[in-house]
Amino acid sequence: MRDGHCRHERREGGKQTKTVLVSNCGFWEMDNFEPLVAHVKAICKNAGWEYAGALLRPHGPAFSYMLRKDYSVQDVVEAAKRAGKEIVATGKMKDETLKTVSHMLLPLEEYVETTNQAFKRALDRLNQTQEPKP
What are the pLDDT tens digits along the chain (134 aa)? Answer: 777 777 677 777 667 788 999 999 999 999 999 999 999 999 998 888 899 999 999 998 888 888 888 888 899 999 999 999 999 999 999 999 999 999 998 899 999 998 899 889 989 888 888 766 66
Beta-bridge partners for 56: 23
> pTM of the full predicted structure?
0.80
Q: Whose CA is closest to 41, among 71, 19, 13?
A: 19
Sequence spans of domains, the chain: 18-104
User: What digits encode the pLDDT tens for the residues 34-63?
Assistant: 999 999 999 998 888 899 999 999 998 888
Q: Whose CA is closest to 102, among 35, 50, 53?
A: 53
* DSSP letters for 44-72: HHHHTPEEEEEEEESSHHHHHHHHHTT-S
